[in-house]
Structure formats: structure tokens, C-alpha cells
Structure 1
Amino acid sequence: MSSIPELIRKKRDGEKLSEDEIKTFIQAVTNNDIQECQIGAMLMAIWQKNMVGTEIAALTREMMTSGEVMLWPEEWKGLVVDKHSTGGVGDKISLVLAPALAACGFKVPMISGRGLAHTGGTLDKLESIPGYNIQQSTAQIHTILSTVGCCIVGQTATLVPADRVLYALRDATSTVDSLPLIAGSIISKKGAESLTALVLDVKFGGAALCKDLASAKELAQLLVSTGNALGMRTGAVLSRMNAPIGHCVGNSLEVIESLESLKGNGPEDLMDLVSSLGGILMVMTGLVSDQSEGKKRISEAVTGGAALSKFQAMMEAQGVAKETARALCSAHSDYYSVLRRAKHQRELKTQKDGYIQDVDGLLLAEVLHKLGTGRVKAGEPINHSVGAELLVSLGQKVIKGAPWLRLHYDERAPTTEQLDALQHSLTVGPEQITHHSLVAEVLLP
């Protein structure tokens, strides 16, 4: 059996690691039989020399089996599905999609994460709801899926422990953007959920990890091939991520917009992406023959109210008081009777006549992050009430002085420089530009 230094040397020199060698490395990580500096050295060697498909599949499989792999009842066969997004601004897709899928008969054990850098985290959004408990054991997840059909939770202590070690050190060693390590991290966690099908929302654009379609497609194809190699039917959507999705950015504001979407009042771009991702899962599980029929089923689950009922039941199953869940899901909800509202609101005005051509989601999110929507240091609290509402839509005609953004903030008031940055995030021009659907391309297995 090769020693850890030999494995590091081998990968450093660009050689291919065998399945047994990768297993030796991951077991050492899991059992704490390896020095932290050695893990960092291996991560940097992988970042520099890359991995071939068989290495990536082996790495992902060993990470997946480093802890508990979930088991489901036989009667759920073919119905356990999930979705993963590479992160964006205003991306509250999971909050609408998970209950919509449950309303269509699927079981959705959605294990989500917190915000990273400028991108919002699904768990942070849900924790703005009083009582919502993201920490659920495997037994509790099973119970919630049995009774509700969906849950949105954090990673359990026993699930993919190797990933927790590697992920922390990837951040410390500047190897976060290694494609093999990205694939291993994402797919191992989804594989441990024992899914029938997985759909990936791989974003590209100014506010995304991948800045262009070509790099997003490369990542998507790697994730799809790795997922399918593990026995999950895996597909992907390549979606545009420049302007924010929908109209709201910020934790509690995105919960409100998600609830409005579940009540049939969702923005067109958000609902198109929700139905596209859900439609692909329906095709991959064989429930429908084509994506258009799948999109229709997902849309009907939302507009008919079944998805809203599932979201209410999920909240209650994860610790939210019945009165609170009912208040949020009522037809004419006073959201701020439940959710905390920021102390201050300030509207920004357009500075000339014209058409809304663009909103720079990255610039907007970076300012909001500094005002409290995100964490400067790992583990620090965030302000759930901070955020922004877009009062205009792409392509809309506006006149000078019309309000275009409502900023929600507390003690951290925006500086002059931050207000200038927000104004620079808006592009108003003399011509109306055609805006494409968020979905640019679909990759099916």
C-alpha cells in the first residue's frame, strides 16, 4: 500500500491515481490519520494536475461512502429526487421547487447549504422564519418525507464527513475552483441521499461562479457524468445569472417572494426556472415523456395551491408553530407580523429616462453582503431582515426620478460609496433590449 507522501508525489507529477490509492487518501482524511499539511498538498496537486474521469468518479464514490448513505423504503423507488444550484443572487428556487415536487408525488430530501461569498444560502433564508429548524437527523428526515414529501435541511453529522474536512481546507488552500474537487463535493453529498434523479442548475454570467457559457458547460458536463457514474440519473440546466432572479434579494425578503410565488404570484423568470428544473426531473424519472408536460405539471402544482400546502406542512414538520406557518401561508398574509422587518427603508431613484437594460446582480449582492445579508467570517450571525426589492423589471420603460430599488437596512446604514455602487448597478438606455429566458441550455443523461 502506498504511503500518503507517495500518493502526493504521484499526483504532483501528473500521474493517475488508482481507485485503491484514492480510497487510501479518503479513508485517512475520514479517520484523521493524515496531517493537515498533507491534505493541503494533495488538494493543491489535484488543482494543478487535474484528474481524469475515472479518478473523479472514484474520489466521489469514496467521499460518498465515508459516512452514512441514506436508505429509503422500496415503495419510494424511482421517486427520490433533488436539485443543486451552483449559487446566484436572488436564487430562491429551492423554496418553491421542493414543495412543488412533493405535490407531484416525489420524495425530496433536499440537503442545502449556507451563503458563500456574495451568493445567498437556502438555509439562511429559511432560518429567517421563527422556529424553522434546519438540523434534522436521518430518522427525522425519513419521517418528514413520509408525512410531507419534502424537507430542506442542513448536512447531517454522519453524511459525507470527508467532504467537511476537504471543503474547509479547499477554502484555506485556494483550491475551491478545482473542477474535480467541486464535482466530488457536490455529487458525493447528493449520492449519499440515494437519489433516483438529480438536476443541476449550473449558472453562468457576471454574478455566477462560471462567467461564461463555455466554462459552465464544462462544469455541468463533468457533474452530469460523475452523477451518472454513481448510478444517479443526472441532468443539468445552464442558466443565466446576471441580474437577480425575481425581485427580492435578502433572506426574509426572498422568503416572502417565495411564498408569493407559491400563491401563484411568482415572477416569470423565477417560475420558468422552477418549472424547467422540475420538468427535467419528471422526464428523468419517467413520469412524463417530454419536458413541456413536466413543466406543466410543476406549474399546476403551484397555481393549484398544492405546493403551498406542502410548504406549510414542511415548515410545521421542521419546528415552525402551526399558527406561524398558517399566517405565512394565508391568502392575505401580513408577513411582517411573523418575519422581522428592517428598521429602515430607502428608495433609490432612476437618474434618466429610458429602458431598464440591466441590473448588475454581483454589485448589488456585494453591497447587501456588507450591510448584513452575508458573513464576513465563518459562523458569524447574519441579519435576516437586510435586503433589497427591485421595483422595476428588465425591459421596462422608466422616467427620471422613478423609484427603482427599495433598500432594507438596520444599524449598518449604506455609505455614500455604497449608494453610488447601487446606482451604478442599474443600466438605463435609450433602447429596449430583448431579454432571453434564464434557461440557456439543457443537458440530459
Structure 2
Amino acid sequence: MGVFSAVDVIRAKRDGARLDDEQIDWVIAAYTAGEVAEEQMAALAMAVLLRGMSPEETSRWTAAMVASGKTLDLGAVGRPTADKHSTGGVGDKITLPLTPLVAACGAAVPQLSGRGLGHTGGTLDKLESIPGWRAGLAEAEIRRNLRETGAVICAATDDLAPADRKLYALRDVTGTVESIPLIAASIMSKKLAEGTESLVLDVKCGSGAFMKDLARARELARALVDIGAARGLRTSALITDMSVPLGRAVGNALEVAEAVEVLSGGGPPDVVELTVRLAREMLGHAGLDAVDPADALADGRALDKWREMIRAQRGDPDAALPTARHVEVVPAPRTGTLISLDAFAVGTAAWRLGAGRARKEDAVQHAAGVRCLAKPGDRVAAGEPLLELHTDRQESIAAARDTLEGAYEISGADVVSAPLVLDRIAPQD
């Protein structure tokens, strides 16, 4: 690898040039090693945000971030491996029922997950509301659990794509989070380093998502799928609606309880629909098309696998989940049909109640959150409970109520239900 000048690389991208492979390899390796200064990488990230990157540049950038650390070797797991990644939303607990469901159908799911920040929830925060459950596993434990149970949800080890961890923190404080090439490279570098054989992306679109409109969501989904195809990873993406909270529970323990309902054969129809749709997509990539995941939900196999997965990480699946010290109801102001319920406002209210964090080092309240007692299309009566606010800090309720002002609409009109899955993006021929 040649030695370059960081300033020359910054200028090249600033002026709209395509970075060549050697420039990309050098700048990622040098930044990871501390040889490119934070302010220089911040300038380069801003140049990428403003000038973009070609698919070839984005693919190489991703590969360079993978090469900054180790790659998990899952060759001895003994089953086809399949994973799912969501770009984040409100009430998005799909990983919780999906992982044991797909494992119950014969695949192994190495679900390396993260924590929430702002209005979107983190899978690890949710699972840590289960007494005893632990997120941190060594590589040997990850491989053993995949071999023995087929299902792991845990934190990524520190040596997987360390360049991404460093660059992600920088983007967060330099206004460059929105760059689609950098988002795509961040997501895919972690998944490629994870060692899975196939991947399904759930790209959220709507008020509660990072991608607010369908065109941007399609652009991100295409970038993700193209990177996967270029690196030999079987990849596809579903674009799914996030204008309304997913399910009825938004929070940590509240979402775990709802996930268990789904695994027990119940739960909100939208959560069940998306879980089964994503499971079919993952099983198709794994060569297990003949297995119907709906059967594994109905006959209890997925629930059994959940219990096995939780125990394997020292959690107690029978333990009571935390409950909030204060629960306050938001009543419907009038009689009619609930027309809309804004996902972003509900997610922000849950965050204000303590379910999320403003900074990565903040703690979360496991019992905090919002329960949506009605969803768009439901009839409500004046004074009837519409939302429940759960928190251990009573003083946070007023701010959550303020956030929900104007977040919902009730009228006499009928609601035309929107599809949950808006599009599917597959590799190009």
C-alpha cells in the first residue's frame, strides 16, 4: 500500500474526483492507526457527504473498514448462516422474535446488535431488561451458541471493523451521519466482518426512520444490496413503513413482552407480518425455502428456541420483567377513528420517559416507554385510553405529554391502510 497525503485525498474528493482503491485503503488504515487526524477525517467525511461516492468507491471503502479488524469465522457452525439488519425505527423489536424463529427453522443467526440512541431503540437495551441476560460474548461463545442453539444476539466484539466504530463516532458530531455511502459502508462493514453467508436488510422509511422518504430509502437499500453483491454476500432488502410505531409497545421491557407474545402465537398483526416476511426472505437465502416460519410460530418451536437462546446467555426467560413505578394514560380527546399516530413523536416521548439515551454513555430505564392502546384504523371513544406513558421518573411525564401534542389525529373519516412492506430490492443482474 502506498503512502499518501491526507490533504491530497481530501482535496480529491472535495473536487469531485473518484478515490482510487489505494487511496481508500490507505486513508482507512491510517485513520484507524491514528495517523490521519480526526479533523482531517471529518473534512473527508464532509466531502463524501457533499460529493458522494460511486458504488465502486463505496464497496472498496467498506472492504477497507472490514480489513481494519478481524472477521469472524463461522465455518464450523454446521448450518447455513443468515442475518438481518434494520436501519432503526420506533417499536422495532423484530430482531427479538425473528432470530429464534429463523433458528427454529434450521438456519444459524449471528445477530450482532447495537444500542439505541435518540428516538430509536437498541436491541441490546431491550434484552438487558431480562434478568441475568448478558450482551458481551467472546468469539468462542458466539460460535458455540450458534452451533448448539443456532441463535445469538450480542454486542460486536471490539476487533470487528474498528474503523467503523471510530468513524461512526466522528460522523455523529460532525453533521455527516446522513451520507448514504457512509451509512451503507458502516452497516455492511459490520455485517461482512460478522462472517454471515447471507443478509436481509430492513430499510425503514417514514417519520420514525432516518430515511424519511421512499426515494432516499430506495437509494440506501440499493447501496447496501450492491455492496453485499460485490463482496459475494447473498443480500436483499425490504423497504418497510415506519410512519407509525411498529406494534403497540415502544420501550425496552415493554417490547420484550410483546416479542414473547408474538413467539407465543399472538401479538400485534404488523409485528407478526413483518417477522414472518423477513424470516421467509432469510430462509430463502439460506436454501431453506421449503420451511414455513409461520408453522414454527404456531406450534411453539420458535418460543422454545427463544427460551434456549436467552438461557444460553445467562438470562432467565421465566423471570418477571421490570415494570414502571409510574403509569399515566393519555385519553382520546374525541370520539372517532384514529387516522394517524406519528412514529417520531411516540419514539421521542419514550426517550423522554427514559427508554433511550441522548449520549452513548447514558443509562436507560428498562421499564420506561409508551404503549399504543390504539393504532390507525381503530375506533376510539372520547376519554378512552389512547396511550400509556411508563416511567420511573414522574417528572418526565409532562415533557412526554408535550411531545405527543399533535402526534395523532382522530376524525370521522375511514383510514385506507398502507402496506407494511413498500418495496423489495434485489441484486442487479
TM-score, shorter chain, exceeding 0.5:
yes
For residue 436 of structure 1, the aligned residue among 392, 400, 418 is 418
Q: Structure 1 stretches of 5 or more lacking a match?
A: 329-337
Q: How does 1:234-383 map to 2 (within 5 A)?
A: 234-288=235-289, 297-320=292-315, 324-325=316-317, 327=318, 338-383=320-365
Q: How does 1:410-425 map to 2 (within 5 A)?
A: 410-416=392-398, 418-425=400-407
Residues 408 and 59 (structure 1), Cα distance of their counterparts in 2 relative to 1, 3 Å cut: same
CA separation in 2, counterparts of 1:422 and 1:106? 41
Answer yes or no: is 1:125 the counterpart of 2:120. no
Greater helix content: 1
Partner of 1:221: 222
CA separation in 2, counterparts of 1:35 and 1:393? 49
Matched letter for residue 102 of structure 2: L
Number of equivalent positions: 425
TM-score calculated relative to the size of structure 2: 0.96
Residues 247 and 415 (structure 1), Cα distance of their counterparts in 2 relative to 1, 3 Å cut: closer
Matched letter for residue 318 of structure 1: Q
Q: Give deviations 1:281-327, integer Å, cap 9, x for gaps.
A: 22223322xxxx66xx111111211111111111111121xxx32x2
Residues 163 and 398 (structure 1), Cα distance of their counterparts in 2 relative to 1, 3 Å cut: same
CA separation in 1, counterparts of 2:45 and 2:122? 25
Which secondary structure state, in structure 2, belongs to the residue aligned with residue 145 of structure 1? helix
Which secondary structure state, in structure 2, belongs to the residue aligned with residue 129 of structure 1? coil
Residues 68 and 416 (structure 1), Cα distance of their counterparts in 2 relative to 1, 3 Å cut: closer
Residues 4 and 265 (structure 1), Cα distance of their counterparts in 2 relative to 1, 3 Å cut: same
Q: How does 1:93-172 map to 2 (within 5 A)?
A: 93-172=94-173
Q: 1:37: how far off?
A: 1.5
Residues 211 and 307 (structure 1), Cα distance of their counterparts in 2 relative to 1, 3 Å cut: same
Q: 1:376: how far off?
A: 2.0
Which secondary structure state, in structure 2, belongs to the residue aligned with residue 264 of structure 1? coil
Identity, in percent, stands at: 40
More divergent stretch after superposition (219-228 vs 410-419): 410-419
CA separation in 2, counterparts of 1:97 and 1:239? 16
Q: Give deviations 1:364-414, integer Å, cap 9, x for gaps.
A: 111221121111222111111111211123211121111111211222434
Question: Is the Cα contact below 8 Å between 1:269 and 1:437 reproduced in 2?
Answer: no
CA separation in 2, counterparts of 1:399 and 1:437? 26
Which secondary structure state, in structure 1, belongs to the residue aligned with residue 199 of structure 2? strand
Partner of 1:14: 16
For residue 70 of structure 1, the aligned residue among 50, 54, 72 is 72
Question: Is the Cα contact below 8 Å between 1:372 and 1:412 reproduced in 2?
Answer: no
Answer yes or no: is 1:27 the counterpart of 2:29. yes
CA separation in 2, counterparts of 1:86 and 1:72? 24
Q: 1:21: how far off?
A: 1.1
Partner of 1:332: none
Matched letter for residue 350 of structure 1: A
Partner of 1:5: 7
Q: 1:423: how far off?
A: 4.7
Q: 1:105: how far off?
A: 0.8
Matched letter for residue 303 of structure 2: L
CA separation in 1, counterparts of 2:397 and 2:288? 52
Which secondary structure state, in structure 1, belongs to the residue aligned with residue 293 of structure 2? helix
TM-score calculated relative to the size of structure 1: 0.92
Partner of 1:399: 381
CA separation in 2, counterparts of 1:347 and 1:147? 44
CA separation in 2, counterparts of 1:75 and 1:149? 8
Matched letter for residue 20 of structure 2: S
Q: 1:417: how far off?
A: 5.5
Which secondary structure state, in structure 2, belongs to the residue aligned with residue 61 of structure 1? helix
For residue 52 of structure 2, the aligned residue among 50, 53, 57 is 50
Q: 1:420: how far off?
A: 4.3
